[in-house]
Amino acid sequence: MNVNIPASNLPRVVVIGCGFGGLELVKKLRHAPVQVVLLDRNNYHNFQPLLYQVATGSLEPDTIVAPIRKMFKGQHNFIYRYAEVQYINAERNEVETNIGPIGYDFLVIATGSQTNFFGNKTIEKAAMQIKTIPSALNLRSYIFQNFEKALLMNTTYEKEELMNVVVVGGGPTGVEVSGAIAELKANVLPKDYPELDFRSMKIYLIEAGPVLLNGMSAESSAKARQYLEEMDVHVWLNAPVEKYEDGKVYFGKDQSIHAETLIWAAGVSGTALPGLQENAVAKNQRINVNQFNKVEGYENIFAIGDCALMVTEDTPRGHPMVAQVAIQQAKLLAKNLPRIINRETPENFVYNNKGSMATVGRNKAVVDLPKFKFQGFFAWLVWLFVHLMSLAGHRNRIVTFFTWVWNYITYDQSLRLIIRPYWREPRKKKGDAPIEPQGNETPQEKPLPISENVVLATEKPAELLPPAKDTSPPEAPKEQQNQRPFPPPPMA
Ligand SMILES: Cc1cc2nc3c(=O)[nH]c(=O)nc-3n(C[C@H](O)[C@H](O)[C@H](O)COP(=O)(O)OP(=O)(O)OC[C@H]3O[C@@H](n4cnc5c(N)ncnc54)[C@H](O)[C@@H]3O)c2cc1C
Q: In this predicted structure, which of 95-109, 219-233, 335-349, 404-418 has the lowest mean pLDDT?
A: 404-418
What does the alpha-carbon distance between residue 269 and residue 332 come to, in Å, rounded to a whole number?
A: 24
pLDDT at 2: 86
Three-class secondary structure assignment of 412-463: CCCCCCCCCCEECCCCCCCCCCCCCCECCECHHHCCCCCCCCCEECCCCCHH
The residues facing 368 across adjacent strands are: 356, 373
∠ CA 86-88-94 to the nearest 5 degrees?
110
In the predicted structure, residue 460 carries a pLDDT above the cut 60 = no
- Residue 37 vs residue 415, higher pLDDT: 37
The finding on whether 480 has its CB within 6 A of some atom of ligand 1 is: no
The residues facing 108 across adjacent strands are: 15, 302
pLDDT digits (tens, 9 = 90+) for 361-384: 999 999 999 989 999 999 999 999
Which among 23, 25, 38, 48 is the best mutation to test ligand 1's pocket, defined by most ligand atoms within 8 Å of the CB?
48
One-letter amino acid identity for 97?
T
The alpha carbon torsion through 70, 51, 82, 142 (nearest 10 deg) reads -130
Atom of ligand 1 nearest to the CA of 358: 8
pLDDT digits (tens, 9 = 90+) for 144-168: 999 999 999 999 999 999 999 999 9
What does the alpha-carbon distance between residue 291 and residue 349 come to, in Å, rounded to a whole number?
A: 6
In the predicted structure, residue 414 carries a pLDDT above the cut 80 = no
Interaxial angle between packed helices 172-183 and 218-230, expressed in degrees from 0 to 180 and rounded to the nearest 10: 20
Atom of ligand 1 nearest to the CA of 130: 1
The finding on whether 131 has its CB within 6 A of some atom of ligand 1 is: yes
In the predicted structure, residue 435 carries a pLDDT above the cut 80 = no
Q: In this predicted structure, which of 6-10, 331-335, 473-477 has the lowest mean pLDDT?
A: 473-477
Structural domains present in the chain: 12-115+269-341 (3.50.50.60)
pLDDT at 447: 33
pLDDT digits (tens, 9 = 90+) for 258-313: 999 999 999 899 999 999 999 999 989 999 999 999 999 999 999 999 999 999 99
Q: In this predicted structure, which of 108-112, 396-400, 457-461 has the lowest mean pLDDT?
A: 457-461
SS3 114: strand
H/E run at residue 244: strand 241-245
Q: Stretch 118-140: mean pLDDT, rounded?
A: 95
pLDDT at 432: 52
**Cβ distance 133 to 51 under 8 Å?**
yes
At residue 437, what are phi and psi to the nearest 5 degrees? -60, 140
In the predicted structure, residue 448 carries a pLDDT above the cut 50 = no
In the predicted structure, residue 456 carries a pLDDT above the cut 90 = no
Name the E strands within 1-98.
12-16, 35-40, 44-46, 65-67, 78-82, 85-89, 94-97
pLDDT at 70: 95
Atom of ligand 1 nearest to the CA of 21: 25
- As a whole number of angstroms, the longest Cα–Cα distance in the chain is 73
The finding on whether 40 has its CB within 6 A of some atom of ligand 1 is: yes
pLDDT at 473: 38
Q: What pLDDT band is residue 431 in, cutting at 50, 70 and 90?
A: low
pLDDT at 237: 96
Q: Stretch 22-50: mean pLDDT, rounded?
A: 97
∠ CA 11-16-17 to the nearest 5 degrees?
135
Which residue's alpha carbon is at the smallest distance from atom 27 of ligand 1? 112
Q: What pLDDT band is residue 476 in, cutting at 50, 70 and 90?
A: very low
**Cβ distance 221 to 214 under 8 Å?**
yes
Identify the CA nearest to 18 among candidates 48, 45, 49. Answer: 45
In the predicted structure, residue 72 carries a pLDDT above the cut 60 = yes
CA of 157 to the centre of ligand 1 (A): 38
- Residue 474 vs residue 261, higher pLDDT: 261
Kindly report the pTM of this predicted structure. Answer: 0.87
pLDDT at 15: 98
pLDDT at 384: 96
